[in-house]
Amino acid sequence: SSSAGDGARNIEVIEFKEERRKWMEEAKDDFTAADNLQPPGISIPAKLASVQMELGNLSEALTIITDLKNQSQHSSKRAAGERSELDRSYGAWLLYADLMLRIGHECGQWIDGNSRNNNYMFRRWLRKYSETFDWKERRLQALCMALEGAAGSTACTMLVEWFHRRALKRRHDGNEQDKDDSGGFDSDRWHFDMSKSYQKGGQVAQDDADGKSTPASAAETEASSSAGKSGAIIRKSEQQALSEPPQALFEKERESLLSKNKAELLAFDKETSKMNLEPTSREGEDREQLRAELVKYQRSSVVALVGDYHQKLASAQHSSSDATHSEKNRVTDSNTAPLPMSASCATVCDIAALLMKQCIDLGLYHASTLVGEAVSSYFRERVNRRDRKLTNATLDITNQQFALQNPFQMHSSYDDVDAGDESDTEDSVIDYISDDDDLESPLEADALEDMRNGALPNELQALCGISMIGEGGKDYVGVRALSAIASLDTHEPVENNSTGGNGSDRAWTLFSQSMAGATTKPFAVALLADIVDKMDEKRQCQLLKLIELFEGHIDDLTKGGLIDDVITADIYSKTDARGQRKARYMKVLHALLNLNICRAKLESSTQAQPTTNALMALLDFLIRFEDVLWTGPSPGGSITQSDVKLLKSLLQVLTILLKASESSHYDADIMNTILGKVGHLLSLLLRVTVGPPVTDVGSASFEKHSDFPLPSDWQSPAEKRLAHRALNLCVGYAVPGSTMGWRNDTLSLESIMKSHCSNVFGIKIEEKIVCGLIPEGAEAELSSQLLLLQDNFTWLSIFDFYKSAIEDIKEAGWYAHAIERLDRHGGRAMLSSGGEQDGIMLLLLLSRLCILIAIASGEGDAASDTCRKRGMIKTALSIILPITQFFTGRQVWTSSIGVFNASEVEKREWDHFINAKFAFERSAASTNKSSQDVIRRKRKPSQPPKIRPRGSQWTNGPTKPVRELLLSGVLELPLSSLLLEWLTSSDADDGDVAPITRSLDGAKRAMSALDEALAHLQKSTTFKAMHKSSLSVASALLNVAGTIECHNPFQCLQHAVMFASHGSKLGKSDLPFKKALPSNDLQCSPREALLILGRADCLRALHFTDEAIFLCSYALRMCRLHRQPNAGIGTCDDHTTIAVSPRWGAVSAYAYMVSVAIDSTLTSLLDICGKTATASNWDADAL
C-alpha cells in the first residue's frame, strides 16, 4: 500500500541522515585537526565552517568566518594594496551568505518560539542576539563581495561604489551596528568570547526545560561582550550629546550665560543698595569699580563663548571634510588592486540573482539595477577577453609560420614574447575559466552576440524590470523588461507535507526556496505584485499596463487548478508549502484588484455618464476569488491584515458604485443586481444575511409612530443579526484590540471588560444605553442618510433630533476625555487597525444602497413593489438605528440590542474598571465580591514568611476594621514641600551621633558603587540580567540617600523605587533590602527612618506587601514617638522624653505617602484574585 511505501521511504531517509551526520562529525574532527596546524590560505577554515553549518553549529561557523574576515582586513598584504585571498574567493563569500541565511531563519524560529536547534552555544547566541542581529545587511554585503570576486572589479565598479557610499552614510547616520576593535561585530564573535570563559574554567549556565538560561555565577557575562560594548556605550552617549545642532546648543549656552550674568549683576546691585554707601565716598567708588570689573568680566566671557563656538564650528567642518575625504579615499583607494574575473557566466548570473532578490527584499531597487548593469558589463568583458585570446592565438600562429619560413628571424620572434607586457594584464591572472570552451564553440554564436550587446538572461532581466518598477521613473523600460517573465519556468511544485523530514526541515526548505531558490514565473509575478500593492494610489495609476500581466497569470493558475488547490491552506504556516503558494497568489490578486480599482476611478472621473460594467466586473472578481482572499476571523475574533485589505477594497468599489448610481440615476433593477452581489459578499465577510424580504409582517407598525422609541417587533431573525453585527462593530471600533466586532456572541459588560486591551477606551454606559465613538466618516455618512430618509419618507421626520444630539454628545465630558486620550496616543488611526471601521462603513453603504432602491421603487401600487420597498427600509433601519443609538446615547427603538440590564454588582465592577488608573489592568468580573468571607492571600513557596510586629496590642484583640482605600481623597504632597521641611535642620541638630556615613570618602564610595551598578545595568542584554541589575541600582541609591552629604534624599528614594519596580517580583528579590532595624528606638534618627521607608517602598514595588507594611508601621511608630506634645519635647509610652526635630514632620508626610502606595498595590493585587484587602497587618500608629 501507499502508506507502507511512505513509511519505508521515511525509514530510509532517517538512516541516510544518520549516516551523513556520522561522516560529517568525522570530517569536522579532521578539519579541526588540520586547522590547528594553521595552514596557509582559507581553504581549511572555510571547509571547517561549512561542516559546522551542516551539523547545525552555526555559532562556531560564524566565529570561524568572522576570524577570516578580520585577518583579511588587517593583513600586511592588504595594507600594501593587494587583495586578500578571502576577497578573491567568491565561494567563501557565498558560504558566508548561506550562513547568514541560515542564521536569519533560526532567528525567526527562535522569535516565534519554534526553534529546534539543539546546539547549546547557538541557543545562548539566539537568546542574546536573535532580535537585534541584522543578518539581511550582512548577507547583502557578502553577496556584493561575492559578485565582485566572481565578475571582477572592473564590471562591478559602480555597484561597489554605491555600496561603499551607503555604508558610509549608514555610519554617519548612526544606523550601522557598533563594531568592536577588531573590526568584527560583537555578535559575530560571541562564541569565541564564550569559549574563552571555558578555557578560564568558568562555570557556564545551563539550559532549562523552558529554553531559558540560569547563570551559575555572578561573574558570568555580561562580561562576554563588555569589552566591545563599553566603547559602544561611550560612542552612543557622545552621539546623543552631539545629536543636537551646534547652533541650537550654542544658543542655549549663550542664553544660560546671559541669564547667569544678569543674575550676578542684580545680586551685586542688591547687595550694594543694602550697604547704603555714598556714591562720592571711597567705599562707594570702590564698589563702582568692582561693578565695572564684573561687567568687563561678563562681557569677556560672552566674547570668549562666541569665539570658541566659531572656532569649534570651523574645526568641525574642517575635520568633517577631512574625515569624509579620507573615508572616500579609503573606500575607493586607487592603490588597491582590482579583482580579476574568476567565475563562469552561470556562476555570475546565480550570484547576481541572489543579490538582486536580497536588494529587492530590502527595498534597494537602484542597487538591484546596478547589479544588472554589472552583469551586463561582465558579459561584454568576457566577449572582449575571448576576442583578445583569439587575436593573440592568430598572431602566435602567424609568427610561427614566419619563423619557419625565415629561420634567420627565429631569434627575434623569441625575443618579442613579452614585448606587449601581456603578463601584467588581467587575462594573465586567470588564464582559464570553466566556460571558455563553450564561448568558443560555433553553436554559441547567438548567445555570444547577445553577450557582446550586454543582454541579460531572462531571470536577471525580469528582476531588473521589477527593480525599475519599484525604483520609479523607469516604467517604460521596466515594463519592457518584464516581458522576460513569460519565458521563465512556470512549474509550481505541489509538495507533500506529510512525508519526509520534520517541521523544522520543511520550514528551512521553504524559507531557503523563497530567498535563494530559482526565480520562477509565479515567484517573479508575486514579487512584482507585492511591490505594486505597497505603492500609493497615485503611483498605482501609472502602472495600469501591468493589469494584463497579472490577469494572464491568474488565468494560467486557474486553468491549472492551482488556486483551488490552496483554498484551505494556512498562509501563516511556515511549514506548509501550499500556504506559501497561497500567500503568493493572494499578493497577485490584491495587486490586480487595486489596479482595477484605480482604473475604475479614472474612468468614472473622466466619463460624463459612467457605466457600471467595470465595477460589476470587480464585484464578480471578488465573488470569484472570495474563498482565497478571505480567511475569516480567528477563534479569538480577530481578522488578518489580508482580510482588512479586502474590506478596504470592497469599500472602495461600493463607494464608486454608489456615486455612479446617484449621478446617473440607474433604475432599480440594476441596483438590485448590485445589491445581490454586495449582499453575497457581505454574507461571507460580515456573516450577515442580506436579501429580499420573505414576509411583510410588522412592517407597517413603525410607519405610524411619530416619536421615539420606535418599535422593534418588525425585525426578522436575519435583520436582528444584522443589527447585532452593526453594534458589535461599533463597540469593537471604540474599544481597540477587543475583537468584539467580529465575534457573534451577545454584547455584555463582562465580554467588554475581558476583551479590553488598549490604552484608549471610547465607550460609556448612559442609563443602560451603551454609547461611544464611531469613525468620522461614519458620522458624516449617518447624518447624510438620516437627511435622505427625512426628505423622502415623511413618517421618518422624527430623525430631526440628530444634529442637536451630536452637539450634546460632543460636549459631554466622557467624549472630550476619549478624544484627548486618542490624540495622546496617535489619533483615530490606531482605532482602524482591526478592520472595524471598514466594516461599519460597508454596512452604512449597504443601508444607503437599500434606501436608494426604496426611493427608485416609486409609489407603485403592486404588492410586490410595496413589499420590496418596505424590506429595503427595514434593512436600512436595522443598520442605522443601532449605530445612531450607539453614537447619540439615546434610545431610538425598543430593541434590547445595545441595552444593558446590569445588576448593581456589575455596575460597581464596571465603574471600577472604567476608572482604573492603568489602562492595561484587567478586572475580574466576579459576582462574589460582595461576600463577607475574607480570604487571605496565598503566598508562593519562594516568598519569605509573613513578618508581624512583636508586642502589638492587636495580636489577640478583636478583628481589626477594614481600612477604607479611597484614592480619590488622598492628599497630594509634593516632594519639594517635604524637601523644604527637611532642610530646616541638619543631621547634627537631630542628634545623629552615629550617622550612616560620616566622611566625604563614604559618599564617594557610595557614588562609586552607584556608578558601577548603573554600568552593569547598561550592559544588560537579557531580561534576567536587567532585573538583577535594577535591584543593585536601587540598593545603591538607598546607600547614597543614607550619606550626610545627600541633601535631597527624597529624590534618591523615588529613583530607587523606580529601579526596584523593574526587578523580578517576589522570590528572593527582597534580599538587597533586608537590613537590621535600630537596636534602640529612641536613637533612631530621621534619616534612618527615611531609609526604612525607602526600603518599604522598594519592597512594595516588588509585591512584598507584608514586609513593606511592617517597615512602614515601624517608621510611623517612630514618628508618633517624636510627635510634639509640648515645645521641643516628645514623650514615649514609658514617660521617657526625647528630642523633637522638624525633620520628623517630613518623615511623617513621606510615611503617609508610602502607606497609601502600599494600600493601592495590595488592593490591586487582591482585586485581580477577586479578594478584598484588609488592615490585619497594619499597626495602630498607621490606623
pLDDT reported for residue 41: 83
Contact 747, 923 (CB under 8 A): no
Range 860-880 burial, b when 16+ CB lie within 10 A, else e: eeeeeebbbbbbbbbbbbbbb
800 grid coordinates: 430631526
C-alpha angle with apex 665: 662 to 667, nearest 5 degrees? 125
Model confidence at 764, pLDDT cuts 50, 70, 90, reads: confident
pLDDT reported for residue 587: 93
Q: What is the pLDDT of residues 126-157, one digit of tens each?
A: 888 888 899 999 999 999 999 999 999 999 99
Q: Is 449 exposed, middle or buried (0-12, 13-18, 19+ CB in 10 A)?
A: exposed
Choose among 749, 810, 820, 812: nearest CA to 774.
810
Q: Under DSSP, is residue 1023 helix (H, G, I), strand (E, B) or coil? A: helix
Choose among 802, 742, 740: nearest CA to 770.
740
Model confidence at 216, pLDDT cuts 50, 70, 90, reads: very low
Report the distance separating Cα 99 and Cα 118, nearest Å: 17
pLDDT at 250 > cutoff 90: no
DSSP string of 405-451, one letter each residue = H-GGGHHHHHHTTTTT-GGGSHHHHS---TTHHHHHSGGGHHHHHHH
pLDDT reported for residue 584: 92
DSSP 8-state secondary structure symbol assigned to residue 611:
-
Report the distance separating Cα 585 and Cα 523, nearest Å: 9
Contact 93, 149 (CB under 8 A): yes
Identity of the amino acid at 728 = N
Highest mean pLDDT among 170-179, 225-234, 270-279, 694-703: 270-279
Q: What is the pLDDT of residues 299-322, one digit of tens each?
A: 888 888 888 877 777 776 665 555
Q: What is the pLDDT of residues 338-386, one digit of tens each?
A: 888 888 999 999 999 999 999 999 999 999 999 999 999 999 998 888 8
pLDDT reported for residue 953: 37
Q: Hey, what long-range contacts does 516-521 have (CB within 8 A, 24 or more apart)?
A: 516/98, 516/101, 516/354, 516/357, 518/459, 518/489, 519/353, 519/357, 519/459, 519/462, 519/463, 519/488, 520/488, 520/489, 520/490, 520/491, 520/492, 521/485, 521/486, 521/488, 521/489, 521/490, 521/553
Query: Residues near 45 by Cβ (< 8 Å), separated by ≥ 6?
Result: 35, 64, 65, 67, 68
Model confidence at 530, pLDDT cuts 50, 70, 90, reads: very high
Query: Residues near 569 by Cβ (< 8 Å), separated by ≥ 6?
Result: 576, 578, 579, 581, 582
Q: What are the DSSP E strand ranges found in 859-955?
A: none
Q: For the chain, how big is the Rg over CA atoms in Å?
A: 40
pLDDT reported for residue 704: 64
The number of residues making up the chain comes to 1183
Q: What is the pLDDT of residues 494-526, one digit of tens each?
A: 555 444 455 668 888 888 888 888 899 999 999
Choose among 975, 1031, 1033, 979: nearest CA to 1007.
1033
Model confidence at 1041, pLDDT cuts 50, 70, 90, reads: confident
DSSP string of 475-544, one letter each residue = HHHHHHHGGGGGGS--------TTSSS-HHHHHHHHHHHHHHS---HHHHHHHHHHHHHTS-HHHHGGGT
Query: Residues near 297 by Cβ (< 8 Å), separated by ≥ 6?
Result: none
How many angstroms separate the Cα of 1130 from the Cα of each of 320, 395, 500, 1183?
A: 69, 118, 85, 21
Q: What is the pLDDT of residues 929-942, one digit of tens each?
A: 333 333 334 444 44
Report the distance separating Cα 478 and Cα 543, nearest Å: 10
Report the distance separating Cα 617 and Cα 141, nearest Å: 47
> Mean pLDDT lowest for which of 218-227, 250-259, 731-740?
218-227
689 grid coordinates: 444575511
Q: Which conformational region is residue 1166 in: left (phi greater than 0), alpha (psi within -120 to 50 degrees), or beta?
A: alpha
Range 373-402 burial, b when 16+ CB lie within 10 A, else e: bbbbbbbebbbebbeeeeeeeeeeeebeee
pLDDT reported for residue 595: 94
Report the distance separating Cα 456 and Cα 720, nearest Å: 62
Identity of the amino acid at 1047 = H
The mean pLDDT of 629-639, rounded to a whole number, is 84
The mean pLDDT of 120-124, rounded to a whole number, is 85
Q: What is the pLDDT of residues 557-589, one digit of tens each?
A: 998 888 888 888 888 888 888 888 999 999 999
Choose among 1000, 1009, 1051: nearest CA to 1033.
1009
pLDDT at 460 > cutoff 90: yes
Q: What is the pLDDT of residues 2-12, one digit of tens each?
A: 556 666 777 77
Q: What is the pLDDT of residues 43-73, one digit of tens each?
A: 888 899 888 888 888 888 888 888 888 887 7
The mean pLDDT of 216-244, rounded to a whole number, is 37
Identity of the amino acid at 546 = L
Report the distance separating Cα 851 and Cα 870, nearest Å: 10
pLDDT reported for residue 421: 43
Contact 1121, 959 (CB under 8 A): no
